[in-house]
Amino acid sequence: MFQTFDDTAHPEQGPPRLEALRAVMRHDGLAGYLVPRADAHQGEYVAPHDDRLAWLTGFTGSAGFCAVLHDAAGVFIDGRYRTQVKNQVALDHFTPVPWPETALHDWLRAALPDGCVVGFDPWLHTVEQVRKLEEGLSGSGITLRAAPGLVDGIWPDQPPPPQGAITPYPEDMAGETHSDKRTRLAASLRNKGQRAAVITMPDSIAWLLNIRGSDIPRNPVPHGFAILHDSGQLSLFTDLAKCDDALRAHLGGDVTLRPETAFGAALRSLQGPVRIDPASCPVDVANQLQEAGVPATEARDPCALPKACKNPAEIAGARAAHVRDGAAVVEFLCWYDNQDAAQLTEIDLVTALEGFRRDTGALRDISFETISGSGPNGAVMHYRVTRSSNRTLRDGDLVVLDSGGQYLDGTTDITRTLPVGQPGDEPRACFTRVLRGMIALSRLRFPKGVAGAHIDAVARAPLWMAGQDYDHGTGHGVGAYLCVHEGPQRISRVSDLPLQPGMILSNEPGYYREGAFGIRIENLITVREAERPQGGDARDMLDFETLTFVPIDRRLIVPEMLTEDERAWLNAYHAQCREVLSPLLSDAARAWMLDATALV
């Protein structure tokens, strides 16, 4: 099994760890200290060595931070985690703070008197984060001070840094040599008058060099830093024990491997202007450039958009991975419908689904910890089942099953909501509204230049009309055998990045009623050039190709709530599921599929 079910949140351990941190803060003259979820590379997921927020507080969500004062400790979490955090932290010592509704600078202003100093680790906070916080604190008398390593210093059994091997990624799947990628990006640096770019995001480095790693669970990326020069040459700073002769041969003479300890000196020796991404560059990197007199230019990570816009080989790989993965999920659904669901637990579903994926013979890893939430657990948006939380399914439950696989040719992410017995009318009505939003986004045609923020409301509209909504984005980017959550593309009310052909995103509206049930339906989609309808304007349009092929449970649909166009889309989608998946299915699953995809 890739997934384990150990309890990783231990609220009772938080208070003594909090007091140990406060003792160090007193010694260093700090009134506050910031403990982020992020590591030095600013990825969403972190290695056990870097899971400082979870170690200190017990909170295991993928986003958030803790602001520790001597008389308070605020755990800042967004809407995805407001139920989860209550069960994971000692609430008599840690206070959940709704974020971003409550800004950190406002919270600090209200909690601290003028003249106080708040510490932060300059390797764990970005240039943009610290700048915004300093702007928000302007005039308050509260100042920030770099104070690296305070949590590490009180963590006696901190796991060692990861040392996963770095391996070449096949060129036929990457669709472009890393030499061509470096040449292309170097030209863009020269065009902007930049001599080099500092790259700190592991998935950017993995994409650029056509390499993969295993330093982060579920994400096939290596830890390291890179400097891309305007000549196309690149220096990769990583643990050299991860690099064998095959990797060195793959990288060739224009890529220099150096130990991470050489990164600082290399930064200070650069000739500027040097490009840094303020959204991902650690403060310490910017400080070292500044102290050495190396001019820096702020701009987006040069790999971000090229990585997001998949080439034909990457799209072909994604299609193949989704067909394989879809067949495995259908085998699971057939199995599920032939069980006595009331005898199953949430863990049973996770282990069975992973087993069917393993049976493909191509699964490298799961792409994230499977979310298997039944009944009230389904309302915890990023619920992770453990042995202590494991729940037996009950008649009338809904089960949110959000899962994915890492395959060499692509990364998958799919959510289906399943009934246990006979769900009530209200959950079915909510499910149908979520389905209508998912269909609306799937069918959408839109002009070039439209961003995720412009179309987010399309998926929410049926819920809004009923006075309902969900507290997560409608869609995140997905990598090509990389991270299941990839930026900068998003379908969200805060995303102003125009969608471009080749971007892969999720389409996942949902609805969650705390203490009762959760609903989410998710397919992956890719942006493509749209056909111009007869009579349409002479303007360039885009639409979405659906990559995920798994039936949507008709038992949860209220048919009369669907329009004729919505029914037509769903029936056509189910027909396509039959056509695409049937050759890969067992006889039992093929028979199940015929019934599951009957006309609505």
Pairing of strands 274-276, 196-199: parallel
445 conformational bin, left if phi > 0, alpha if psi -120 to 50, beta if neither? beta
**Do the first three CATH levels of 11-153 and 309-596 match, i.e. the same topology?**
no
Are 260 and 238 within 8 A, CB to CB? yes
14 conformational bin, left if phi > 0, alpha if psi -120 to 50, beta if neither? alpha
DSSP, collapsed to helix, strand or coil, labels residue 188 as: helix
- Give the amino acid at 559: P
pLDDT of residue 43: 80
* Euclidean distance between CA atoms 306 and 201, whole angstroms: 14
Per residue, the 3-state secondary structure of 217-250, as one string, reads CCECCCCCEEEEECCCCEEEECCHHHCCHHHHHH
**Residue written as tokens 């809407």?**
79
The CATH homologous superfamily to which domain 167-307 belongs is Creatinase/prolidase N-terminal domain (3.40.350.10)
Predicted confidence pLDDT, tens digits, the chain (600 residues)? 899 998 877 888 999 999 999 999 999 999 999 999 999 999 888 999 999 999 999 988 888 999 999 999 999 998 888 888 888 898 899 899 999 899 999 999 999 998 899 999 999 999 999 999 999 999 999 999 999 999 999 999 999 999 999 999 999 999 999 999 999 999 999 999 999 999 999 999 999 999 999 999 899 999 999 999 999 999 999 999 999 999 999 999 999 999 999 999 999 999 989 999 999 999 999 999 999 999 999 999 999 999 999 999 999 999 999 999 999 999 999 999 999 998 999 999 999 999 999 999 999 999 999 999 999 999 999 899 999 999 999 999 999 999 999 999 999 999 999 999 999 999 999 999 999 999 999 999 999 999 999 999 999 999 999 999 999 999 999 999 999 999 999 999 999 999 999 999 999 999 999 999 999 999 999 999 999 888 888 899 999 999 999 999 999 999 999 999 999 999 999 999 999 999 999 999 999 999 999 999
- Give the amino acid at 383: Y
Residues sharing a CB contact under 8 Å with residue 587, sequence separation 6 or more, in sequence order: none
pLDDT of residue 202: 96
- Give the amino acid at 201: M
Bond prior to 273 in cis (omega within 30° of 0)? yes
Which top CATH class is 309-596?
A: alpha beta
Structure tokens at 275: 């490009």
Q: In DSSP terms, which residues pair with 144 in a beta bridge?
A: 118
Residues sharing a CB contact under 8 Å with residue 1, sequence separation 6 or more, in sequence order: 351, 354
* Euclidean distance between CA atoms 233 and 230, whole angstroms: 7
Structure tokens at 186: 């170097």
Give the torsion sign (CA, 362, 368, 369, 375).
negative
Pairing of strands 65-69, 234-237: unpaired
Q: What is the side-by-side order of every strand in the sheet holding 398-403?
A: 371-374, 398-403, 414-419
pLDDT of residue 209: 98
Exposed (0-12), middle (13-18) or buried (19+): which is 249, by Cβ within 10 Å? exposed
* Euclidean distance between CA atoms 223 and 206, whole angstroms: 9
Domain map of the chain by residue range?
A: 11-153, 167-307, 309-596
Per residue, the 3-state secondary structure of 94-131, as one string, reads CEEEECCCCCHHHHHHHHCCCCCEEEECCCCCEHHHHH
Q: What is the side-by-side order of every strand in the sheet holding 405-407?
A: 363-366, 405-407, 410-411
* Euclidean distance between CA atoms 56 and 97, whole angstroms: 16
CATH fold for domain 11-153: Creatine Amidinohydrolase; Chain A, domain 1 (3.40.350)
pLDDT of residue 121: 98
Upper half-sphere CA count for residue 354 (Cβ side, 13 Å):
19
Give the torsion sign (CA, 198, 482, 385, 434).
positive
SS3 content of the chain, % helix, strand, coil (to 5): 40, 20, 40
